Amino acid sequence: MADKSEIQDLKGKLNEDGLIIPADYVLMKRNFKAELLEFYLNSLKEGQTILDLNPGFDGVYTDIDLSRLQYIAVEQNSHIKSFLKEKNIAVKDWKAPNIPLNDNSIDYVLSAPYIEHLPTYLDALNLLIEIKRVLKKDGRILLIVPNYLNLKSIFYEDYKHGWVTTKKRLEDMLRDCSYDVLGFRYTIGWITMRMNPLCTVLRFAIYLIMAIIRMNPVERFLEAVKLDKLGHKFKKTFFELIVIEARVNKP
């Protein structure tokens, strides 16, 4: 689990937008990604290799035993690259969909988030085909993306978002690229991946609130009373994510 004191120095670091990253937000995402290990990556065996697309300041490398597993990060942000290199992490700046690795060389690919930043469905399709090439037989991919059906117009408030991501679109594309979809779950932003009755009720309540605050009259009202920043913070914190795991289907 990430230690808050460890990442206080991230205040003042820049993300790809050129905006300040609040340390609490980074902590929340790190703790969320620590759950990825518990739910999905804990079956990896010694010597296996993880390819992490767009790890950021909050990647799973915080909780991975780098002496036991091989870890390759793909990151283009210069500030994050420097941060990762300080931790002796192998960092590449390849641009999707190009992954210059040998065929059948990776056991697990983590994309959290990444694919929604590609401009078109063809770019997303080519990325999944390239990932299939580098994955070993029965290798797996874990995709974590914002749910457009929950966000609607809020999806495009991030100017870097391109290809629209929904559960059905991802599942259809994965199957067309010869992946077997193993399962999925929805999460409440980067807060938790756990599924229990309380989380289900909370998710429903947040869905209703999101539907209200993205209505145009409500957005105008929040601007008028100078609460628009609070509304934006709520949307950024509680948007719905889709987590999909798939296994490559190779002979």
Per-residue pLDDT at 106 exceeds 90: yes
d(CA 251, CA 21): 44
Two tokens at 192?
Answer: 């938790």
Band of residue 244 on the pLDDT scale cut at 50, 70, 90: very high
- pLDDT of 223 reads 84
User: CA distances (Å), 146 to each of 50, 155, 236, in order?
Assistant: 22, 8, 11
The span from the first CA to the last CA of the chain, in angstroms, equals 38
Report the b/e string of 52-70 with b at 16+ CB within 10 A: bbbbbbbbbbbbbeeeebb
CB contact at 8 A, 159 and 209 = no
Q: Which of 45, 88, 85, 38 is nearest to 194 (CA)?
A: 38
Q: What is the pLDDT of residues 12-59, one digit of tens each?
A: 444 444 444 555 666 667 677 777 777 788 788 889 999 999 888 777
27 CB-near residues (< 8 Å, 6+ apart)? 2, 4, 7
Cα-Cα-Cα-Cα dihedral sign, residues 175, 190, 147, 206:
positive
What are the extents of the domains in the chain?
4-190+240-248
CA distance 89 to 1: 19
pLDDT digits (tens, 9 = 90+) for 108-154: 999 988 899 999 999 999 999 999 999 999 999 999 999 998 877 77
Question: Which whole number is the average pLDDT over 82-93?
Answer: 86
Q: Report the CATH superfamily, name and number, of domain 4-190+240-248.
A: Vaccinia Virus protein VP39 (3.40.50.150)
Question: What pLDDT sits at residue 28?
Answer: 66
Q: What is the model's pLDDT at position 202?
A: 77
Kindly list the strands in the beta sheet with 70-74, ordered across the sheet, starting from the edge strand earlier in the chain. 90-92, 70-74, 49-53, 106-111, 135-146, 240-248, 179-188
Angle of helix 197-213 versus helix 228-238 axis, rounded to 10 = 140
